Amino acid sequence: MRKRNFYIVSDGKLRRKENTIYFENAEGKRPIPINSIYSIYALGSLTITSQALNYLAREGICVHFFNRYGYYTGSFYPRESLISGDVVVKQAEHYLDREKRLYLAKAFVEGSIMNMARVLRRNGEDDTGVISALQGLENSESVEEVMGAEATARTEYYSKFDSMLSGMKFEKRSRQPPENEVNAMISFGNSLLYSAVLTEIYHTQLHPAVSYLHEPSERRFSLSLDLAEIFKPLLVDRLVISLVNKKMVGEGDFDEDFKGVLLSEKGRKKFLKAFNERLERTVKHRTLGRNVSYQRLIRLECYKLVKHILGVEKYRPFVMWW
Amino acid sequence: MIDEMYIRGVEVNYYFVCKTKLWLFSHNVSLEKESDLVKLGKLVHKEFYRKDRKDVRIGPIAIDVVRKGNELEIQEVKKAKSMEKADLFQMLYYLFYLSNLGIPARGRITYPKSREVVNVELDEKRLRDLEEILREIDGLKRGKMPKPVRKKHCRKCAYFEFCFAG
Ligand code: SF4
């Protein structure tokens, strides 16, 4: 059975009966066979029985939780089943050694910048501003400077958004709260992406809390933030741009209140569907010679990182080739 | 002398199949899903030994053993003959292991596909070869991960994406 991501948007309860997880609410009872679940995104108000949680844990299924505004709140990250002492020790070594950490931090930002440039070019925009941030990156001597180079690139990048978008305004990046529709979508997309990356990390020997660009103390699963940087342009920004330009979101998809602008329940459903379609979209991989989904690309990135820390092959970040 | 307790039969097999695979496996860099081929192998196995089969675990080794008089017969079922040498030495390792425990045994590898049966015995020469191989496996495990080298069977290997995704 093909495994897929489940997005639970309405309120209800998850319980286990034999080899099946059931989602129940006032409207009825819907079975979800356990071996069809890759991960769960809980966006409604969800009650989960401990039997259901134990079962999900045994099967290594992550559950990501979002509050009713669509903000990520946390993940149920089951006890690790793939543990390799060698990998964890080496992962920490690459954090503790200044040069090694700097290499990885730079690599993540380089990937992020190259992918931003790709989004711009695909939309007929000039990418020289973004690309020139690579020089600053190159010269960076600390992780803070690396962060600075990434911020410079991102400012350049966002300055082109309004000319890539038709029908909705971006103006500038605003986070908490997002001040307009485009920002609301970017924020929501980024937290979905963070969760998706976390799921992939779970399926490898990498420890999710040992990171290089972000400080491990910053968030519990900071490695997920590191890797998400590389994939934001592909999995979030391009999605947002296409939803706006194809007029697939609009009236009724957003709520406005003191919290700023947020996707409405209807808007969230639309966005989730589009996001998942994007995760499942495939591309022919150049070295593997087979089709891999965008979601799988994240896993491959984890594998590359494992190989790097084991000293087999220098890590080069993923850059869109299409 | 190498403490052969810490070498698993399948590692002897992987020594012939791929050094990278051996290293990854022995450092617990396994992948969540077994490849379909591995599953198929298990299925063939089950079907073949529905009856009078004993799963025996001695130290790190799990094998199927059938008692034949005073001797034990270790049985292995293999899908294809393509990895004959790997299968042979995996079996020899089991025999070696048992003989170190003072248990006389012989081996039998069955290839249901080609309806072939290979009887295996541990002689002097093979013993020397095996000891050499065990020493090398020990060295490989202590060393760095060997760089993946693309081979014909890589495409069917569970580590394929790990090894070649750039
Ligand atoms: S993919 Fe090839 S190189 Fe990698 S472990 Fe498998 S057989 Fe070895």
| Residue-wise pLDDT tens digits, A57-87 | 999 999 999 998 888 999 999 988 788 889 9
* Closest CA of chain B from A255, distance in Å: 41
Mutate to test the pocket of ligand 1, among B37, B82, B163, B164 (most ligand atoms within 8 A of CB): B163
Work out the average pLDDT over A120-126.
Answer: 95
> A313–B147: do the CB atoms touch at under 8 Å?
yes
Q: In 10 A of CB A63, how many CB atoms? A: 25
Provide the mean pLDDT of chain B: 80
* Per-residue pLDDT at B53: 55
| Residue B34 clears pLDDT 70, i.e. is over it | no
For B160, the closest chain A residue by CA position comes to A288
Ligand 1: nearest atom to the Cα of B160: 1
State the count of interchain CB pairs (< 8 A) between A and B.
Answer: 55
> What is the whole-number distance in angstroms between the Cα of residue A36 and the centre of ligand 1?
28
Phi and psi at residue A304, to the nearest 5°: -65, -35
- The kind and range of the H/E element at A132 are helix A128-139
pLDDT at A196 over 90: yes
Q: What is the interface pTM, i.e. ipTM, of the complex?
A: 0.88
3-state secondary structure of B94: helix
Q: Cβ(B83) to ligand 1 under 6 A? A: no
- What Cα–Cα distance (Å) separates residue B63 from each residue in B8, B53, B75, B99? 11, 10, 7, 15
d(CA B83, CA B118): 13
- Please list the residues that pair with A134 across neighbouring strands: none
- C-beta atoms of A288 and B145 within 8 A: no
For residue B52, what pLDDT band results from cuts at 50, 70 and 90? low
Express as a percent the part of chain B with pLDDT over 90: 41
Across chain A, which distance is largest between two alpha carbons, in Å? Answer: 59
In the reported structure, the alpha carbon of residue B149 is separated from the centroid of ligand 1 by a whole-number distance in angstroms of 7
Q: Is the CB of B42 under 6 A from ligand 1?
A: no
Q: What is the pLDDT of residues B99-136, one digit of tens each?
A: 887 888 899 998 988 899 999 999 999 999 999 999 99
Distance B141 CA to ligand 1 centre (A): 16
B166 and A304 within 8 Å at the Cβ level: the answer is: yes
Give the separation between CA A33 and CA A50, rounded to whole angstroms: 17
- Does the CB atom of residue B148 touch ligand 1 within 6 A? yes
Q: CA-nearest residue of chain A to B25?
A: A84
pLDDT reading at A116 higher than 90: yes
Count the helix, strand and coil residues of chain A and give each as a percent rounded to the nearest 5.
50, 15, 35
Q: In the beta sheet, which residues pair with residue B117?
A: B110
* Percent of chain A surpassing pLDDT 70: 100
Q: Which ligand 1 atom is nearest residue B17's CA?
A: 7
